[in-house]
Amino acid sequence: MRTSLDSRRNFLKFFGTTTLGLAVAACAGRAAREEVTAAELALIRRTGTLPIVTWSPSATERDAVLRRKAALAGRLRRRDLERLDVLMRATLKVSGGVGLAAPQVGVSRRIFLVELQSEPRRVVTCVDPRIIERSREMVDGYEGCLSIPKVGGKVSRHTSVTVSYTTLDGKRVTYVSKGWEARIFQHEYDHLDGILYVDRLKGPLLPYEEIRRLRKAEKKPGKQAALDPTATPWAVM
Ligand SMILES: [Zn+2]
């Protein structure tokens, strides 16, 4: 009989030792003010949803859209920006994720969506965002990515961040995000610099069912909520 340990070993063998440290070359330097390409416009002018670009942790290509530093959104015309927003919102909705960055749908622009975690839940569009402040305090949590299907892993993130971004109406706003929501902002922001959560893993990549089991096993009665993995919703983004 195959044990869960066997399947975990096979899984790790399949993915090798992941891609730790591969990404960061992509994020050196400032984001470019590139002209909009014909390929980008072809995607933006579609209707319905956009296919999500996926990545295998054993892949080595460095110029793929998920590994590039995305260009500033500033060069996109307002109408195209709004079209892209409609497509990304529809894509996020059907994906079941809590956040989505434009490179995940093949558009290498500095735009992402985050579902705010306070009630009423709403999705904000952040154009040319910058994280202008990060808490010194860090917290571990499990993350999954829509671009890396069926697996997840533990990542350490700042417990709060201050994000400055432009809205679709062209207003520059500053927003302070805490807890699980701050994790989503950091995950999406990384996408704009070609960084994937697998570059920040604390431990192995695991199949979803293994993460569910671990979160259950780690639960301790009376444990501080922020440190209790079961207190943190597990989601992909
Ligand atoms: Zn992701």
236 inside domain: no
Show the domain range for 107.
Answer: 4-231
Percentage with pLDDT > 90 across the chain: 64
Q: How confident is the model at residue 18 (pLDDT cuts 50, 70, 90)?
A: very low
Specify the pLDDT at position 231: 53
| pLDDT tens readout for residues 86-137 | 999 999 999 999 999 999 999 999 999 999 998 889 999 999 999 999 999 9
Question: Measured in angstroms, how far is the CA atom of residue 93 from the centroid of ligand 1?
Answer: 15
211 inside domain: yes
Question: Measured in angstroms, how far is the CA atom of residue 97 from the centroid of ligand 1?
Answer: 9
**Is the pLDDT higher at 59 or at 189?**
189
153 inside domain: yes
Question: Measured in angstroms, how far is the CA atom of residue 85 from the centroid of ligand 1?
Answer: 17
Q: How confident is the model at residue 63 (pLDDT cuts 50, 70, 90)?
A: low
40 inside domain: yes
Q: Is 35 a catalytic residue?
A: no
Question: Measured in angstroms, how far is the CA atom of residue 3 from the centroid of ligand 1?
Answer: 30
Is pLDDT at 228 greater than 70 in this prediction?
A: no
DSSP track, the chain: ---HHHHHHHHHHHHTTTTTTSSGGGGSSPPP-PPPPHHHHHHHT--S--PPP---TT---SSSGGGSPPBPGGGS-HHHHHHHHHHHHHHHHHHT-SEEEGGGGT--BSEEEEE-SSSSP-EEEEEEEEEEEE-S-EEEEEEEETTEEEEEEEEEEESEEEEEEE-TTS-EEEEEEEHHHHHHHHHHHHHHTT--GGGGBSS--EEHHHHHHHHHHH--TT--GGG-GGGSPP-B-
H-helix or E-strand spanning residue 140? strand 138-145
| pLDDT tens readout for residues 207-216 | 988 988 887 7
Specify the pLDDT at position 233: 59
**Whole-angstrom distance, CA of residue 85 vs CA of residue 110:** 12
Domains in the chain: how many in total?
Answer: 1
144 inside domain: yes
Question: Measured in angstroms, how far is the CA atom of residue 236 from the centroid of ligand 1?
Answer: 7
Contact call for residues 130 and 164 (beta carbons, < 8 A):
yes
| pLDDT tens readout for residues 77-90 | 999 999 999 999 99
Mean pLDDT of the chain: 84
- The catalytic residue among 115, 181, 188, 210 is 188
| pLDDT tens readout for residues 132-149 | 999 999 999 999 999 999
Amino acid letter at 68? Answer: R
237 inside domain: no
Question: Measured in angstroms, how far is the CA atom of residue 222 from the centroid of ligand 1?
Answer: 31
Q: Looking at residue 137, which CATH number applies to its domain?
A: 3.90.45.10
| pLDDT tens readout for residues 137-191 | 999 999 999 999 999 999 999 999 999 999 999 999 999 999 999 999 999 999 9
Question: Measured in angstroms, how far is the CA atom of residue 163 from the centroid of ligand 1?
Answer: 18
49 inside domain: yes
